[in-house]
Amino acid sequence: MKIDYNESPLLAVWETTRSCAVACSHCRTEAILARDSAELSTEEGKRLLADIAAMDTPIFTLSGGDCLNRRDIEALVEHGKSIGLHMAATPAATANITEARLRSLKAAGLDQLGFSLDAPNAAAHDTFRKVDGSFNMSMAGLRLSRELGLPVQLNTCVAEWNYRYLEQMIGLVNTLDIAFWEISFLVPWGLSGQERGISAQEFEDAFERLCALKLEAPYYVKLTEAPHFKRFLMEKELAGGASPKPNRGPGIREEVETPGIVPNAGKGCIFVDHVGNICPSALLPLASGNVRTNPIADIYRNAHPFRELRDHKLLKGRCGVCEYADVCSGSRARAWAVTGDFLETDPFCAYIPKAMRAAPCGQGASGPAAEKP
C-alpha cells in the first residue's frame, strides 16, 4: 500500500479529551481533571473515524489528556476496527490502567497501547511527569499489557534534561517486550516551553546511536520531530555505511508507506483536538477548520496551512535551499515554536546545504543551528 501524502495522511490522531490527572513538563496543553462539555461525542467520534477511513488513512491513534477518562474508548476502538483502521491508544500512567480496562480494550480489538517512559529510573521520570509513582505505573501497565497479549508502544520524549540517559534508556528498553519505540524530540511549546531541547550537534550524535539501534533492535524504532534523521541516513548510505531497513515488532504496521518521504505535520499526519479543531499536528496547532462544520478530507487536501506544509519549495532559510528538502522538510512544529513561522529553517538541524557552503562568514554552522531553545 502506497500513500500519496497530498491526498491522505498516514496517521490521524484524535485528542479525545484534555482531562488528565498528570501535568507533564513537556505537555503542549494545561491538563485539567474535569472533562470539557464541548468534547466530541461518541457519535461524532465515530463519524470522524469513518471520515478518516474513507481517506484511506491506515493508522488512527486515540490520545489525550488521558483517553481512558472517556468510558466510550472501547466503543470507538471497536468501530474503528470494523471499518479497517489500525487502532492505537496512548493513555496516561494513572490508576485508570487496570487489568479489567486493558482486557476490555483488547476485546474491542485495540492493536497497540502506548506508555510513556522518559528516564531509566523512577526518580528522574517522576520528576519530569510531576507524579510520584508514574514510572512504576507505566512499567506495570506495560507488563500487564504483554501478559494479556496487547502489543506495546513505548514513548520517550528526549530533551536537554534526559539526553544524558539515552544509553541507559536503550539498555532498559532492550529488556522490555515491546513492539514499537517512539522517540520524540522536544518541541518547546505550551508547558514544554519550560524545558530545553538538545543542540543540533546532539541531534547528530543521537542519530548515530539510533541508527545503530535500528540495525539490531527487534522492535520498530521511530523518531518523531526529527525528520532530518532521513538526511542523516541518506548521507550515511552515500558514504557506504549500513543503512537500516524498516523494522517492526508484532502487531505494528510498517510506517514507511511512501518510500523516501518522512511523514510530517500536515504532510502524512493530521490532528483533531478534543473539540474537533483540525490541525497539522498536536505540536503545530494551527486550526484550519472543525470536523463539526468542515469535511476533514477537504481541509487536509486544500486548506491553509496544509497545502503549504506539503510544498517544500516554500521553505525558507537553510531548509529552503537544502537538497534534502523534499524528503525531510525539517520539523515544521519546531520551526514554528522557535521562530513563529512554520516555513522557516528548523533551527536544530546541523546540516549546511551545498548551496550555502561557500556563503560568507556568519551564515554557516555557527549560526542558529548551534543554539538550544
Structural element, H or E, at residue 153? strand 152-158
Confidence of residue 259 (pLDDT cuts 50, 70, 90): low
Beta strand 112-116 with 86-89: parallel, antiparallel or unpaired? parallel
Q: Are strands 112-116 and 220-224 parallel, antiparallel or unpaired?
A: unpaired
The domain segmentation of the chain, as residue ranges, is 11-296, 308-370
On the question of pLDDT at 204 being above 90, the answer is yes
Higher pLDDT, 243 or 111: 111
Q: Does domain 11-296 have CATH number 3.40.50.300?
A: no
26 has pLDDT over 60:
no
Nearest to 105 by CA among 122, 132, 87, 84: 87
Identify the pLDDT of residue 251: 42
SS3 category, 190:
helix
E-only strand ranges, 167-293: 180-185, 220-224, 264-265, 268-272, 278-279
For the residues 245-264, what does the mean pLDDT come to? 56
On the question of pLDDT at 120 being above 50, the answer is yes
pLDDT for position 194:
65
Could you write out the DSSP letters of every residue in 69-100? GSTTHHHHHHHHHHTT-EEEE---SSTT--HH
pLDDT cut 70: percent of the chain above it: 85
Residue 172: the pLDDT is: 97
Give residue 186's pLDDT: 95
Q: What angle do CA 9, 14, 16 make, to 5 degrees?
A: 175
Helix or strand holding residue 233 (H, E): helix 228-238
Residues paired with 12 in a beta bridge: 60, 270
Task: Give the tens place of pLDDT for each residue, 319-350.
Answer: 999 999 999 999 999 999 999 999 999 999 99
Angle at 257 between CA 256 and CA 260, to 5 degrees: 60
Q: Quickly list DSSP for 268-294.
A: EEEEE-TT-BEESBTTB-----BTTTS
Tell me how crowded residue 182 is: count the other CB atoms within 10 A of its CB. 17
The Cα–Cα gap between 12 and 59 comes to: 6
CA angle 231, 235, 239 (to 5 degrees): 170
Tell me how far apart the alpha carbons of residues 119 and 172 are, in angstroms, rounded to a whole number.
Answer: 9
What is the average per-residue pLDDT within 36-64? 97
**If you count DSSP H runs as helices and E runs as strands, how many of each does the chain have, helices first?**
12, 10
Closest Cα to residue 15, out of 33, 1, 29?
Answer: 29
Q: What is the pLDDT of residue 261?
A: 81
Give residue-wise pLDDT tens across range 279-325: 999 999 999 999 999 999 999 999 999 999 999 999 999 999 999 99
At 322, phi and psi to the nearest 5?
Answer: -75, 135
Average pLDDT, the chain: 89
How many whole angstroms separate alpha carbon 308 and alpha carbon 324? 17
Q: How many CB atoms lie within 10 A of CB 169?
A: 20
Asked if residue 262 has pLDDT above 70, the reply is yes
What is the pLDDT confidence band of residue 252, given thresholds at 50, 70 and 90? very low
Backbone angles phi, psi at 348, to 5 degrees: -125, 40
pLDDT above 90 for 163: yes
**What pLDDT, in 10s, does the model give residues 64-110?**
999 999 999 999 999 999 999 999 999 998 999 999 999 999 999 99
Q: How confident is the model at residue 180 (pLDDT cuts 50, 70, 90)?
A: very high
What pLDDT does residue 131 have? Answer: 83
Question: What is residue 246's predicted lDDT score, i.e. its pLDDT?
Answer: 52
Residue with cell 505505573: 137
| Rounded-to-integer distance, Cα 58 and Cα 55, Å | 9
